[in-house]
Structures are given as C-alpha cells and as structure tokens.
Structure 1
Amino acid sequence: MQSYLMVKGVLLDVSGVLLDGDTVLPGAAQCIVSLESAGLPVRLVTNTTRQSKRQLAQHLRSHGIEVEMHRLFAPAAAACAWLKKNGYAPHLLVHPDLEEDFAECSTSGPCAVVVGDAAQAFGYDSLNAAFRKLQKGAPFLALARNRAFKDHDGLLSLDAGAFVEALEYAAGTKAILFGKPSRDFFTAAVESMGCHPHDVAMVGDDVESDVAGALRAGIGAGILVRTGKYRAGDERQVEPRPTAIVASIEEATQLILRMSANGD
C-alpha cells in the first residue's frame, strides 16, 4: 500500500469475503469487531440480489457476524430511492426473495425495468417482457452487472451482468447501475461513515467490481482476497490493479489495522 495512506474507514464485500455460500470464512466473525475496536467504522457493501436486505442481515447473524441494518448497503434500496424520486413503478425481473425490498414502491404510473440476479426467473418470457417495456422507453435499472459468482457447488455461475448486457444490446439502451462498481454506490457507503473516499479501504474477491471499481470511484485502497470467486491471475485483468492481494479476510484485517496505526 502507499505509505501516505492512513485508513480511517473500511468497506467489506460479503459473498466470497465473509461468507462462502453457507460457510463463514475464517476470521470473518471477528474482523468487524477488530476493526471497530480500533476505531474504524465498517460498512458491508454487497451486490447480492438473491436475498432481501432483511434476509441477508439474518443470514449474517446466523453465522455470528453481527451487523446492524444501517451498516449494510445493497443495490435495491438505492434503486427504490430513484424510483420514488423520479415517479416510476418497478417492473421487476429479480429473485422472488428480493421482491420484499420493493414492497413500498408505487404500483401505478410509468414503469421502469429493474433487473437483478433473478436466477431461475430468467427465461425467454420474462426477458422478453422486460425487453418490450424497454423498447417503449422505460428506464432500465440494473442492480448489478457482475459477470459471475461462486455458486453453492463451488463453481462459477452466471450473474446478472450477462442478462443486463443482453437487454442493453437488444433494446439499444444503457442501464443505470446501482450496485458496485457504481461510483454513487461507493460514495453513499463512504459518506455514511463520515469519511473521505481516499481514507477508506475496500476488501473484495471480485477484482473488477469490488477492487478496480472502488479505486476508480476514488477509494484509497482496494484489497483483493484470494477467496470466493477469485481465480489465479484475476489481478492482471483490470486497471487499476489492486493495492494489495492477500490470502483472506484475516490477512486483510491485519493489513488494515497496520495502515490505521501508522500508515505503513
């Protein structure tokens, strides 16, 4: 890491950093406690869209990772705020478990197409229905555009990005992105800690959305962990390159603690 950087706040990805499917990764339950005990505010920033925010918080707590709702940043809340501000009702192409996060959105008026990782709900009929609304001029809201995620069988599976790009191509439009690597998404999490982006470290397993995305958004340090979806050589596929590459959240935590203590 750059010697002039003194970390004052931390952003953590969830899937692949704290949890590997239904398994808590070593050191994950303690990392938030250690960081906050050192005076560092922590926010969890996730592109997970197969669970509601409530379900995700419960899932983390069931694995001994205590998190208050205000410390958890997920794309659905930002999309809901946009819908309310601009007077749109959502046409949802999302996982059924995520629908509760849109329960308070308007059901009348012009619609905007909202796409997340819909899993088995992705099919020709559902994609074509979204396409037809986009053709008629509906705004396109993408909750994430990750290429892949590590599935329960340990292999990579298609994430929402492939479907977002397919709809963009077919409809000749561009989606508004609400999850990582959106600058606005990172900025909202940083501002909630009262920090300057340059004084914050981001820890993730996705070199593109988590790490390079954070660095492009002005985050001071992007730390790549070799867990979750990480594959050897990922760090050479993007610019800017990771600030540091470590084996696990345990090593990332120790590195950040050293950075907060003396800026080394």
Structure 2
Amino acid sequence: MLIADAAKEEFHGVGCGNENAVLIGLAPEHFNYECMTAAFRLLLDGAPLIAVHKARYYKRGDGLALGPGAFVTGLEYSAGCKAEVVGKPETAFFHSALQDLGCPPAEAVMIGDDVQDDVCGSMKAGLAGILVKTGKYRPGDENQVELRPSHTAEDFPQAIDFIINNWLQSQ
C-alpha cells in the first residue's frame, strides 16, 4: 500500500500479507526507489494497480508538491499496465457519491480548486462545476481544459453566493 500512514487505518483488519495488488494514493513518505520497485515487481507478476486518484499536484504549506499521478503514471509505463482509478476524476466516483445522497447529477454542484480532477471530472459526470481560485488553483487553469467551468469564483463563499443568487433563485 503506497498510501499515507494515516490512511492505512481505514484498512485495519484487511489482510496485508501476500500482497496481490498495488494500492497507491498520496504517500510522499513512501514514494522512494525501494517502495516503487517493490510495487513495480508486484505489477510485473500480474497484480492490479489501483489508484485512489491521479492528481498531478497538491498544495502543502510550503507550496505546490508533486501528487500521486506522476507515480501512478510511472508505474503504468514501467510495468505496462493500466491503473484502475477509483476516485476523482472518474465518473463512477461522482455517481456513487451522489447515489448515496439520492441526488441526480443534474442537481449537484462540485466546488473545487483543481480544474481537472474536481471541475472537469464532475462536469463529465453531469454535475455543474465551480472552480475556486484558492488552494492549488493557478492563474489561467480554467483556460487549460477542454470543459470550461460552469463558473469561476474567487473563493468558496463566493461560489456559494453564486449558487444561491443565480441557480437557486431561478427554481
């Protein structure tokens, strides 16, 4: 499991001996040559590659940092396999979350700072997508994707105000 140690608590009770899959998420402390080589060898032996997500980067206190996407893509390339992505930006991820809430995609809005994974991913799943210019947003992100955000807001409160004043008022 190439995931953060804190996330491993979610797998308490799941047998982790005799590894038969590679699970990869955000785990900076595990993205080293030895761990990546061990994962690579499992993949060569036929283990599936499961990615929590393929984010390109994330925001830390000291600035942007490389996300798990580079490591997932590197393992895919090196082992000649394709990862099964179970989180954003996959359509199934958004549909599953909405199904649990009993909400159809056309009535949902995703607000996020990642134009690719949050906004485009949600819009491909049928949701509206609002990009906020906070967190890991970089100026011009909204111009770098095939799907333009439904709206771009300075921050989360402004996004909420936009929803209330423009979308809820019309119902």
Distance 1:256 1:189 in 2: 20
Give the equivalent residue in structure 2 for 1:228.
135
Cα deviation, residue 246, structure 1: 0.5
CA RMSD in angstroms comes to 1.3
Give the equivalent residue in structure 1 for 2:150.
243
Cα deviation, residue 217, structure 1: 1.3
Cα deviation, residue 131, structure 1: 0.3
Match status 1:179 vs 2:87: yes
Match status 1:97 vs 2:28: no
Gaps of 5+ in 1: 1-91
Aligned with residue 207 of structure 1, among 91, 100, 115: 115
Cα deviation, residue 192, structure 1: 1.6
The aligned length equals: 170
Give the equivalent residue in structure 1 for 2:42.
133
Match status 1:166 vs 2:77: no
Pairs within 5 Å for 1:135-154: 135-153=44-62
Output the amino acid matched with 1:135. Answer: L
Distance 1:132 1:176 in 2: 18
Distance 1:228 1:109 in 2: 39
Output the amino acid matched with 1:136. Answer: D
Question: What is the TM-score of this pair, normalised by structure 2?
Answer: 0.95
- 158-167 or 99-108, larger mean C-alpha shift: 99-108
Deviations 1:124-150 (A, max 9, x none): 000000000000100110011000011
Cα deviation, residue 260, structure 1: 2.0
1:132 partner SS: helix
Distance 1:122 1:194 in 2: 38
Deviations 1:75-126 (A, max 9, x none): xxxxxxxxxxxxxxxxx11111111111132345661110011112210000
Give the equivalent residue in structure 2 for 1:121.
30
Question: What is the TM-score of this pair, normalised by structure 1?
Answer: 0.62
Cα deviation, residue 206, structure 1: 0.1
Higher RCO (C-alpha 8 Å, min separation 6): 1
Gaps of 5+ in 2: none
2:93 partner SS: helix
Deviations 1:21-48 (A, max 9, x none): xxxxxxxxxxxxxxxxxxxxxxxxxxxx
- 248-257 or 206-215, larger mean C-alpha shift: 248-257
